[in-house]
């Protein structure tokens, strides 16, 4: 866990250093919220076994509509067959799990409305969509690591020229079927195919970011209203 924390910290500092040198519009902050697992022990019920996550988020605004984002999260995921309303899931010998894993997220955002903190009295709020790819350190007996593909929706609000607050929900598809620690050759998981039903999870959180660097207004040619 210490090595993982060191690697994630170094990656975060590299992105921050890049933005400092470019002297463009970058924001850094913290995010925290709830995590939820979907798999053999929970097919589709939200918040059946909620847990938590937290981390750092960095956003580079290209213009009023588009932004690049980078996140480093520590996620706790848990699940239990005892809480399921499905008879098959409850028959899985009272299966349950709880563990931590790291996530490194790269993605993009698209704002539905014009969002300009330097005119925050006019353009202070927008809903947005987000998508990207994440590297996750889930310990799988078949692979050394895995990827997830998060997509989601959020809202953000310019509290002032420096501070942004927001909330978002993402759903992460993975290629792993071992988030719940049920192996592919486990007799009690034979109802769900390993190859066609990978596990997934969702993250619902709130964040606060602060602009540390000098603002560089977007080029008018690439400004969208």
pLDDT in tens, 38-47: 887 787 788 8
Encode pLDDT of 183-208 as tens digits: 665 545 544 444 457 889 999 999 99
> Percentage of the chain with pLDDT > 70?
68
CA distance 184 to 170: 27
- Widest CA span of the chain, in angstroms? 62
Task: For the chain, report the end-to-end CA distance as a whole number of angstroms.
Answer: 45
Q: What is the pTM of this model?
A: 0.77
Residue 16 has pLDDT above 90, yes or no: no
Q: Residue range 90-98: average pLDDT?
A: 69
Q: Residue range 159-167: average pLDDT?
A: 91
Domain of residue 138 covers 2-222
Phi (first) and psi of residue 14, to 5 degrees: -65, -45
129: tokens are: 């969509």
Closest CA to 41 of 90, 7, 114: 90
Contacts of 115 (CB under 8 A, 6+ apart): 64, 65, 123, 124, 125, 126, 156, 158
Element (H, E) at 11: helix 2-22
CB 177 within 8 A of CB 189: no
* Count of structural domains, the chain: 1
Return the minimum-mean-pLDDT range out of 10-24, 68-82, 97-111, 169-183.
10-24
Closest CA to 205 of 48, 11, 56, 70: 56
Contacts of 87 (CB under 8 A, 6+ apart): none
- Grade residue 7 by pLDDT with cuts at 50, 70 and 90: low
Return the minimum-mean-pLDDT range out of 71-75, 100-104, 130-134, 210-214.
210-214
What pairs with residue 105 in β-bridges?
A: 71, 134
Three-state DSSP class for residue 111: strand
CATH of the domain at 34: 2.40.160.20
Three-state DSSP class for residue 7: helix
- What is the per-residue DSSP string for 27-77? EEEEEEEEEEEEBTTBSS-TTSS-EEEEEEEEEEE-SSSEEEEEEEEEEEE
């Amino acid at each position: 866990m210490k090595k993982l924390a060191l690697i994630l910290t170094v990656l975060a500092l590299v992105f921050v250093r890049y933005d400092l040198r470019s002297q463009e519009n970058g924001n850094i902050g913290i995010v925290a919220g709830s995590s939820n697992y979907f798999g053999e022990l929970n097919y589709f019920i939200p918040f059946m076994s909620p847990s938590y996550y937290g981390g750092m988020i960095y956003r580079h605004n290209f213009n009023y509509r588009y932004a690049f984002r980078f996140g480093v999260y520590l996620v706790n995921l848990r699940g239990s067959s005892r809480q399921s309303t499905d008879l098959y899931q409850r028959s899985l010998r009272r299966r349950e799990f709880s563990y931590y894993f790291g996530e490194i997220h790269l993605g993009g955002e698209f704002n539905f409305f014009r969002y300009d903190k330097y005119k925050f009295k006019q353009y202070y709020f927008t809903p947005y969509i987000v998508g990207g790819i994440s590297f996750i350190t889930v310990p799988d007996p078949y692979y050394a690591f895995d990827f997830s593909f998060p997509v989601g929706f959020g809202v953000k609000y310019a509290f002032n020229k420096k501070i942004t607050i927001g909330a978002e929900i993402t759903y992460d598809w993975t290629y792993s079927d071992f988030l719940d620690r049920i192996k592919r050759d486990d007799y009690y998981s034979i109802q769900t195919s390993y190859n066609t039903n990978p596990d997934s999870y969702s993250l619902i959180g709130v964040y606060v970011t602060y602009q540390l660097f000098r603002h560089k207004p977007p080029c008018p040619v690439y400004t969208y209203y």
